[in-house]
Structures are given as structure tokens and as C-alpha cells.
Structure 1
Amino acid sequence: MVGTVTRAVIVGNRRITRLSAGVIAEFVAELGPLWHERHQAKLASRPRRRAVGAGAKHRRVLIDRLLATLIHLRHGVTHDVLACWFGVHRSTITRATGEVQPLLAERGCTISPGVRLRTLAEVIDHLGASGQTGIVDGTEIRVRQPAAGRRDRDTFISGKNKQYAVKAMVLTDQSGRLLFCSPTKPGSCADITHARELGLVKLLADGPAVEILADAGYQGLGAQTGQRVVTPPHREFKKNAPDGHRKYMSAGARRTPPAVSGSSTASPT
């Protein structure tokens, strides 16, 4: 997909992907067999007029597809821009990100040698076992305007930024280290609704004693989780806020919020 020189520049410059060459090599070694296996299974699963492997031969280099996906996730670069940079059609970038993103999500988040968190339930259990405070927040990424006639087109309009966007819920530890990033939802989905759909309320209510700091978008979850979600006080409580709210206000000065993507555009596909 991309030339050797360009690939070496992307891998060697940590400002592009924020990953070292060694970590990228580990990704390729770990995800390569899974990607090849799923690709072959996809070819064999549908009715075919020709045998698997017939037809035009595409240059399917996993590292190029991985780099395109990492750049898209890191900087929110549109598929059109990546297609120009990698010298391919936009549909190739869309297909590449669609293949690699599920593999990265299933791989999970490595927080220490031998400890890898893949699901939200595992993150809650880890915070409970380690006695750490979690921080949850929603982040939006601007996307291209969906095609005219698409039924759910209006659901991508963010009520906060008044633009087309997709939203993800991010959960970090008290030091701001990323532990979980949810699949994206259309921008009109409220933060608290997204958290409920992901099962955060049930995990906190039935799971270990974990304290989660959240912003005003999650007000109401505290009552549903036994005050395990701490949010800022309502306006009428600012002077005489309950203990939990006062703790939030004091902790907010020292906490590190989850990283929020910039205003660059990305494709909803």
C-alpha cells in the first residue's frame, strides 16, 4: 500500500502513532495470524463463482493497514486523506480500518506484564482489586456528513457541538492511564445513556466497591450504583454540597481527565 520509505518514517516517528517500533512489531506479530485467518474465513464463507484466490491480487500488507488504522484512531484523519497519503483508494482504507479495529479492540489494554484488560467488567474488577479510583468521560470525534437519505443521519448530530460526530466512553485510572474505550455511538447519544447501554450501572451495583469520578453528564448514576459514581453537585447544592460531591470537587483539581480527540474530521465508516 505504501512505500518502504514512507512506512519507515511512520514507524520511526513516535509523534505519528505514539508507539515505538518495537510495540508496532509486537502488534504485527500478534495480529497477523488472526487477521489472515479471518480474511480467509470471510472469503470461504460466502457463495463464490471462482475459487478462493482467483481474480486480481491485492497488495495486502498488514503493517500498512495497521499503520493507517493507528493514524486514523490517533489523529482522527479522514479516510480520504489517508488514501492520498498511502496511495490507494478511499475504500481500501475503509476496508483496512474495518478489519484491524476489531482486532485491536479484542486485544485489550496491557497495563502491566501479564495483565491485559479486554472488557469493561475486567476493568471494574481491576479497579476494585487495586483500590484505585476510576475516571469516566465521553469523547466525541467529528465525522463526515452521512450520505443523504441515510435513515439514521440525524442521530450523528451532536447536541453539544452541533456537528456530525461519533461518541465513545473512556475509562481511566486515577493517574489518567487509559483502561477502556467503548465502541462508538452516534453523537446524539447522551453520555449517561451510553454508560447504561454498556452495562456500567449493573457492573458497579453488583461488582466490587469502586469509586468512579464523572462529570455532570453522568448525574443520576450515583443513586443507581450506591453512590459509587461521584458527580459534581447540582447548582442548588454548590454551597452546601453533600460529602460525595465535596470529595469530587477536591479530587477534580488533582485528577487527569481522559484525552479528548481534537476537532479533526473522521469518516463514520
Structure 2
Amino acid sequence: MTSRGARTALSHRICTGIPRRRLGKLIAELAEPWVAGQESQLRERRGHDRLRAAGAGPDHQLVFTDRVVATLVILRFQLPHAALALFYKVDRSTITRAVHEIRPLLAARGFAVPGSPDLRLLTLADVFAYAASHGVELRIDATEVRVRRPRANRPGRRAFISGKMRQNTKKATVITDEKGRTLWAGAFRPGRQHDQTALKTEGICDLFERFPQVRGKVDAGYRGLAKQFPDQVQAPPLKPKQDAPPEKLAAWEEARKQQSSERICVEHANAEHKQWRPLQRWIGRREYFDQTYQAIAGLVSDRAAMR
């Protein structure tokens, strides 16, 4: 297969996870920061400004468009780099280098919001400012992804053992709007850390105090946050005692189901992220997990913002 044939086949929506029309816009969006990064690296390596005109010298074995496509395919299916190197007829290290160049650019894009194609949310503070100005009620939830077990006798090895899954995991917090459109993903922590603790270390308590008009719905794992901000955060109601009358149990069950049905959209967003193979089970190095999750969640938010 020629390089052009590989590009045509792999750029299909089935392989990249995004339509070709949006793929073209994504490539155009990433081109400028990629060129700037390449020029910065060359300038640092030379120690002085370029002496020849831009574009002089040998061409890349893998052009920028192919680098983006290859990175998207790896994010979609977690294919071995050697497999894509065979398609493009380059060395495996060329594919690996391309992924390390494009993945940070995808992670740095932030998250799309509906109705504002030029606006992207980068931080948790951006999410709260957006929710306050547009009257958006947030949905907050944590999700876990299995990761490779750290090597024996490595410090902090037990920190990745999740008390819920009994597996080595990394935890991510996802925030959506009422329709399940991803607005933010972050607070990446080892699986042993509690959901609420992971989010509080990101400064969410300060943000709730700064934006008292922002509301959110959470699950039982954030009950402490709901107690701290009872007018802003809604958690599932507490279950009545065993000797409670039947009508009280029925009222509790109805309230619990109502809160669950209003919060379930964030679970759907988590499932949408995990349609991408790396977030079903991460087999790469753990230091690249955070960047990979943000890159995938940003791509998913582009599609969700059009709903």
C-alpha cells in the first residue's frame, strides 16, 4: 500500500472517529501550532536563526496530515505503532514521534461548547464561568480506567489499586451540561483516591464560592460536597431507616429515581469517551494517560457540541 493509499483508507470516519470534513478543519487548526513548535525546536537546536528560507532542506518522511491521521487512528483503536508504520512504509519510531507531537496539541485544544464554535473551555474555572453566564446546570461524575500495574517495589504502587474495582486504575472527573455534552475532563488521580478528594484538590470549593449561581448534580460519592454547598450541589437523598413507614420509603425511591434520571447524562458521556479503545483499558505508560484522555474528550466534545 502506498502512503497516499494509507492516508485515504485511514482517514475514513471508521478509523479516525470523526468525519472527513471535520478532519480537514482539525488539521488546519493544528497546523499552525505544530509548525511553530517545529520552528522552536529547530531554533533551539541550531542556537541561531535559520540561514535558509523556510521549506528548504529534506522533507519529512511523514507529512503533517499523515501525522494527524496516524495519531487519531492510534487514539481510536490503540493500534501498535509498528502496524501503522507498515501502512505508511516508515520506521516505527517515526510513528511514535508523530504521536508525541500531535497528541499534546489535541489535548491542549480544550472542550467545545454548543452554539459557540470559537469558544473552548480549558480549565475548571472556564467551565464555572461559562455555566454562570449561560445558566447551565452541571453534571459531575468520576470514571476509572484500568492501567498496567506498576513494577514491584516501586514507591506509590498501592495508590493505583481502586477500592471499587479491585484493579489498578486511574481516575478522571468529567463535567457535562444537562444534555450530556462534555465540558471538561480532568482531575486525573490514581484509582485509590476518593472521587470527592480528587475534585477538591482541583479547587472546586473555591469555584462554588466564587460562582454561587452555579448548580450541579452529583452521585453519592460527592455527598460531602453537597453538604458543604446544599443550595448548589444536589446528591441522591439519604435512604430512610429500616423502620420508616412505607409512604416515606416510596417518596425516597421516587426522589432517588428522579435525581438519577437527571444525572444519568454524565454517565452517557463517560460511555461515549470509552468508545475509544485506550479508555477501555490503558496499556501505555501511565504518564501519557492524562494527555490521551484530554485529547479524546476534546474530540468527543466537538461532536457532542453539535447536538
Are the counterparts in 2 of residues 166 and 187 from structure 1 also a CA contact under 8 Å? yes
CA RMSD of the aligned region, Å? 3.6
Question: Looking at CA atoms only, which structure, 1 or 2, has the larger radius of gyration?
Answer: 2
Classify 1:103/1:141 alpha carbon distance in 2 versus 1 (closer, same or farther; 3 Å).
same
Compute the TM-score of the two structures, normalised by the length of structure 2: 0.69
Letter in 1 for 2:261: A
Are the counterparts in 2 of residues 105 and 118 from structure 1 also a CA contact under 8 Å? no
Q: Which of these residues, 112, 119, 122, is aligned with residue 123 of structure 2?
A: 119
Residue 228 of structure 1: aligned partner:
232
Which SS does the other structure have where 1:265 is aligned? Answer: coil
Q: Which of these residues, 195, 199, 221, is aligned with residue 195 of structure 1?
A: 199
Which SS does the other structure have where 1:266 is aligned? Answer: coil
Identity of aligned residues (%): 33
Residue 67 of structure 2: aligned partner:
65
Are the counterparts in 2 of residues 171 and 181 from structure 1 also a CA contact under 8 Å? yes
Are the counterparts in 2 of residues 135 and 174 from structure 1 also a CA contact under 8 Å? yes
Alignment of 1:74-223 (within 5 A): 74-75=76-77, 77=78, 81-87=80-86, 95-111=97-113, 112=115, 113-148=117-152, 150-182=154-186, 184-223=188-227
Are the counterparts in 1 of residues 175 and 183 from structure 2 also a CA contact under 8 Å? yes
Letter in 2 for 1:206: R
Q: Is the counterpart of residue 259 in structure 1 residue 270 in structure 2?
A: yes
**2-side partners of 1:184 and 1:3: how far apart?**
37
The superposition leaves residues 144-194 of structure 1 with CA deviations (integer Å, 9 ceiling, x where unpaired) of 334455434433333322223322211111101111111633222321122
Shift of 1:43: 4.8
Letter in 2 for 1:67: V
Letter in 1 for 2:129: D
Residue 25 of structure 1: aligned partner:
24
Residue 11 of structure 1: aligned partner:
11
Q: Which of these residues, 237, 245, 258, is aligned with residue 250 of structure 1?
A: 258
Are the counterparts in 2 of residues 142 and 263 from structure 1 also a CA contact under 8 Å? yes
Classify 1:185/1:86 alpha carbon distance in 2 versus 1 (closer, same or farther; 3 Å).
farther
Are the counterparts in 1 of residues 174 and 185 from structure 2 also a CA contact under 8 Å? yes
Between Structure 1 and Structure 2, which shows a larger proportion of helix residues? 2
Which SS does the other structure have where 2:108 is aligned? Answer: helix
Shift of 1:30: 1.5
Are the counterparts in 2 of residues 230 and 248 from structure 1 also a CA contact under 8 Å? no
